[in-house]
Amino acid sequence: MSNAIISISDLKKIYVMGTTEVRALNGVNIDINKNEYAALMGPSGSGKSTLMNLLGCLDTPTSGKYFLNDTNVSSMSDDELAAVRNKEIGFVFQTFNLLPRMTALDNVALPLVYSGLRKKDREEKARIVLESVGLGDRVDHRPNELSGGQRQRVAIARALVNDPSIILADEPTGNLDTKTSIEIMQIFEKIHDAGNTVILVTHEPDIAEHAHRIIRLRDGIVESDVKNENVVRSADPTHRYNEN
């Protein structure tokens, strides 16, 4: 499987609703290499949300194969998928999905509970990652004490804290204004520069232009898969995450 961190072969997902079959994915073939930065696009009903759920090991396909880091995850049990998710994939969602009663530090440290690290070590690692996204002075703040952009930074730190193979971001700028969106995309550029594989699910062309590869879905199949020759670069490589 060479350098591919993700290898998908003839992936299908069929939902049965009464007597009707809905083919959400109808034979998708995609390879994504380590340290690629890919955007996944498509109109509503194209299958991109279904594909994202499969890529994130949140669901299993009806047929076809999905290899993640050379492991066939397409027929795993729910418990096995949960273990893979926690180890291999960092999620960033449009709605942040932070626990409101917990501080930024506790939200970020949460995925480490299953790692076997002591509480002190979990908090130390979470603090380091929060500092890397420019929130070293907000570790004790709860989500309602943070701006939308700061909450998304906490969510990104939580996604990074387990050192995952892949960062999977679902409409990460969907709830943010333009200026804050640019700041968040700078962070994803830095994450990619550091060697991570980034998969960005978006319907916004200007956000997709930050990726090095753009995959478009329509009617459950790959409509186009092209290298982005005009990558939008908003981060100065000499800057840290928290500098503009």
pLDDT in tens, 32-58: 999 999 999 998 889 998 999 999 999
Percent of the chain with pLDDT over 90: 78
pLDDT band, residue 112 (cuts 50/70/90): very high
For the chain, list the domains and their CATH numbers. 34-63+72-227 (3.40.50.300)
Describe the chain by its helix, strand, coil percentages, rounded to 5: 35, 30, 40
pLDDT in tens, 1-33: 458 999 999 999 999 989 999 999 999 999 999
Whole-prediction pTM: 0.90
* pLDDT tens track for 127-160: 999 999 999 999 999 999 999 999 999 999 999 9
Yes or no: say if 55 and 45 are a contact pair by the CB < 8 Å rule.
Answer: no
